[in-house]
Structure 1
Amino acid sequence: MTGRRRPFPRSFPRLIPPATASAVACAAAVASLVTGCGALPWASGDSGDKSPVTVMTWAPEGTKATNMPGMPAMAQAYARWVNSRGGLAGHPLTILTCNERNDSVAAARCAQRAVDEGAVAVVGSYSQFGRSFISPLEAKGIPFIGGYGASDEEFASPLSYPVNGGQASLLAGNGRQLAAACKRVALVRPDTLQGDRMPELLNSGLESGGRDPAKDIRAPEDGTDYADAVTRTLDGVRAAAGGTAAGGCVTASLGDHTDAFFDSFRRLRDDRAKVRISSVQGSVDQSLVNRTGGRSGPLEGAYLTGWYPVASDARWKPMRKVITDFAFGDNRIDPADQGVQTTWIAYTALHALVRQLDDEGVEDITSHALQTALDRGGRAIDTGGLTPKLRWRAADMLAVRDFPRIVNAMVTYQTVRDGRVVAAQDGFVNVTTTLERRRTGG
């Protein structure tokens, strides 16, 4: 985040004892969250001294590929906030964090640590290695709530409860967005197993809009110079139109290295080609737009697809308030980052679940109690309008091949205008039908 944050708690006149001042400061913060714009429906203070609830959040940090340090940092800020107001329905929240390192062995170790240290859930986490982490959780019956959606197992395991439609909904939505504006599309994606799934998902959106499948351009996941990929991309777009790139679009989804691709694109493309560029949120966000030159950079005018409302939307104000008051200037937390946003929504869901169990007289919050509440879906979970209301009953699962646990296939269309990521249209776009009707296997 930019700028210096106000320290918490703020200073008070000396005639107020320090302990009283701290209590007043916490009360003021809570009142602001409860009564301010975008307040969540359950945001009221809790009291009581109940058993702690221990959960884990993991994400890769300090790697050469995709990094999500803001996710565990957001979890820690959330715990400080919720504990300042009595915990989850009176239960103190304890956060375990783990560096998943973009490595299958490390992912499995994080999951085993969650088991060994008594976590009742894994919440708001990122990993591409679902096969590695899901088995230890399933063996112990630990729910995986609101993962980032980077692995297929998050949409197949009966212990997984996703809050978004993952990469599948983003790419299908991006294809539909581009079909309305582009005659031809090239997809630049990682040369990985995860990347191999991307073309069919993007093409499902393109084909629903009457467009031909995208030109598939494989590129290194951790590259620093993408000149070769840019050349192959532009050659592919031109070849599809008899030598001209006019009306063509390039969409890139390379995680942390998307900026390196667009930097190479800016330096090497023929300005007369008039190729529009695009991506999905998570690969492009406001911080990347800023780093690449804002309104004068290569991302100006880009088409973007996201899961949630744009970061400037008033519905994010409660999250921003928590970050301001309880992150203590932690620069790992960017409120425009979809990993941070997903973690906020996942903990919102956990909070609502614990309150439901408390209302039912359940005193011991166990992994089994959470799983039962999730599967039963007693009350739909309200995320303050950041997603549709969420439930994970069998009746709520969408009929999407390979992704049977998707309950939310909504996306948002965004664009970069005057150097800012803004909504391209109001509201959510439902890509359920696009995903259900997609062709698989090539």
Structure 2
Amino acid sequence: MTGWRRFSLLRPVTGRAIRVLCSAVAGATLVTGCGILPGAAGGGGDPVTVMTWAPIGTNATNMAGMPAMAKAYARWVNASGGINGHELRVLTCNERNDGGAAADCARRAAKENAVAVVGSYSQHGREFMAPLEAASIPFLGGYGITEEEFNSFLSYPVNGGQATLMAGNGRQLSRDCDGTALVRPDTISGDDLPDLIGSGLAKGRRAPAADLRAAEDATDYTRVAERARERAGDGGCVTAVLGERTETFFDSYRRLPEDARDIRISSVLGSVGQSLINRTGGKDGPFEGAYLTGWYPVASDPAWQPMRKVIDTYAFGDDAIDPADPGVQTTWIAYTALRAVIESIDDDEITAGKLVNALDHGVSVDTGGLTPRLRWRYEDMLGVPGFPRIVNADVTFQVVREGRLVAQRRGFVNVSGTLG
């Protein structure tokens, strides 16, 4: 974070915003529609409608905190007069970890005249990007789990996705692990992970990781845990990236009969987080000493205070929002970017085309130290094969000490050279 000027995202209400808010309070009637979050803003410009989607209530990875964070963000900005006087209306959609449902969410965004899809999660990039491209709707700040998020001309990522996490995880493990076993989902999105972690391991002159596929929705991983421990060997590491089922895997792993081998465990933020560490015993649990790779600073970093204040004030105790969850954090950063883009457009009407034009022509986003300054011009993109639209290749190295996730090293690690 050295060299990046932090500023409070909780900015004072401008004179224009006060006039807009007073006008809204005096004469507005708020109507609640199905799936639409009404705001208190109004007046100065036309309302801006966006969508956030994520899987909720499924047997695989769930990300209910992302749409919940989007709603809290909208309540916050609308309580202060909106964004440049534009009321922010948030549509939410459950993509159910299903390609057809993801496509339906994208088509609904087009039907309801959303100008962007913001801070969302889906493993079905091919299915949702095609309808968005047909409707010319930008996809801003996706979670970063699909290749389409890094090659579609209408995608504007805020992190480096699974590519940077896995390359970074390889870099992090290469220092201390004689051998590495990777346990990953037996899915299309999981097929890229061995090569990515291998690129990071190679930087430390380590052998490629043993690739162990596992069912994404299994309830027991004893057999693959046995194989992982065997392939890692004494002085090695076992890293598992299975989303919500990572907890299930490591539960199976810790139940294996004890042996004399010294093996460290590892994962990436999103598969393991502070809440999971707490649930499994903290400093006395299986994750003590584990290495974790993330996109952003540790959850205790002061740069997250503006987000935490919004959650405390406007989430109304929504248990779905965990401020340490990288999905929630990504949604916060994505909406921070949306706000900056809208503020750069001097027009009472905000359209998808105007957002795309601003993004393509150099609007710059300061996230207060949570990422490097973000910009999506052609020259800002990394341009690596498979992930050409990455503009942020920074990751963080974290470790569990005394039951708490802390920084293993200060600041960010740029893995652009590893990917390239």
Does residue 280 of structure 2 align to residue 273 of structure 1?
A: no
Say if 1:259 and 1:288, in contact at 8 Å, map to a contact too.
yes
Q: CA deviation at 1:150?
A: 1.0
Task: Name the CA distance, whole Å, in 2 between partners of 1:214 and 1:201.
Answer: 10
Preserved contact between residue 46 and residue 86 of structure 2 (Cα < 8 Å): yes
Q: Matches of 2:112 and 2:311 in 1, distance apart?
A: 27
3-state DSSP class of the match of 2:173? helix
Question: Is the Cα–Cα contact under 8 Å of residues 49 and 88 in structure 2 kept in the other structure?
Answer: yes
Q: Where does structure 2 lack aligned partners over 5 or more consecutive residues? A: 1-5, 21-42
Q: Aligned letter for 2:118? A: V
Decide whether the 8 Å contact of 1:230 with 1:269 is kept in 2.
no
Cα deviations across residues 144-179 of structure 1 (Å, max 9, x unaligned)?
000000111000000000000000000000000000
Contact 1:67–1:256 (CA under 8 A) maintained in structure 2: yes
TM-score (norm 1): 0.87
Q: What is the match of residue 56 of structure 1?
A: 51
Give SS of 2:205's match: coil
Distance 1:397 1:269, change over 3 A: farther
1:366 correspondence with 2:351: yes
Q: Does 1:292 align with 2:276?
A: no
What is the deviation of 1:42? 5.8
TM-superposed CA distance for 1:194, in Å, is 1.0
Aligned counterpart, 2:418: 434
Q: Following the alignment from structure 2 to structure 1, what is the Cα–Cα distance between the partners of residues 317 and 7?
A: 23
Residue 40 (1) aligns with residue 2 (2): no
Deviation string, structure 1 residues 88-138 (Cα, Å, up to 9, x no partner): 111000000000100000000000000001100000000010100001111
What is the match of residue 353 of structure 1? Answer: 341
Q: 1:274: Cα distance to partner?
A: 1.6
Unaligned 5+ segments in structure 1 are 1-36, 238-244, 437-442
Say whether the 8 Å CA contact 1:60–1:101 is kept in structure 2.
yes
Q: How does 1:41-440 map to 2 (within 5 A)?
A: 44-45=13-14, 46-47=17-18, 48=20, 49=43, 50-237=45-232, 245-357=233-345, 361-378=346-363, 380-436=364-420
How far, CA to CA, are the matches of 1:56 and 1:43 in structure 2?
A: 26
- Displacement of 1:41 in angstroms is 8.3
Contact 1:38 1:318 in 2 (8 A): no
The residue identity in structure 1 corresponding to 2:381 is M
Contact 2:10 / 2:306 at 8 angstroms: preserved in 1?
no
Deviation at 1:196, TM superposition (A): 0.9
Distance in 2 separating the partners of 1:234 and 1:304: 18
**Which AA in structure 2 matches 1:363?**
D
Q: Deviations over 1:396-434 (max 9, x none)?
A: 010311001100000000010100111111000000000
CA contact (8 A) 1:42 1:352 kept: no
**Quick one: distance in 1 between partners of 2:185 and 2:11?**
41
**Contact residue 181 and residue 211 of structure 2 kept, 8 A:** yes
Judge conservation of contact 2:237–2:265 (CA < 8 Å) in 1.
yes
**Shift in alpha-carbon separation, 1:419–1:371, aligned structure 2, 3 A:** same
Alpha carbons 1:149, 1:164 under 8 Å: kept: yes
Q: 47-56 vs 160-169, which deviates more?
A: 47-56
Aligned length: 389
- State the Cα deviation string for residues 285-327 of structure 1 (Å, max 9, x = none): 0001011111011000000000000000000000000000000
Q: d(CA) in 2 for partners of 1:294 and 1:322?
A: 27
Residues in 1 aligned to 2:391 and 2:156: alpha-carbon distance in whole angstroms: 9
Deviation digits for residues 235-266 of structure 1 (CA, Å, limit 9, x no counterpart): 222xxxxxxx3211000000000000001111
Q: Distance in 2 between matches of 1:290 and 1:42?
A: 34
Q: Counterpart in 2 of 1:8?
A: none
Q: How far is the alpha carbon of 1:51 from its aligned partner?
A: 0.8
Which whole-Å CA distance do the structure 2 matches of 1:415 and 1:272 have between them?
23
State, as a whole percentage, how many aligned pairs show the same letter.
63
Distance 1:43 1:410, change over 3 A: farther
TM-superposed CA distance for 1:330, in Å, is: 0.2
Secondary structure at 2:398 match in 1: strand
Corresponding residue SS for 2:313: helix
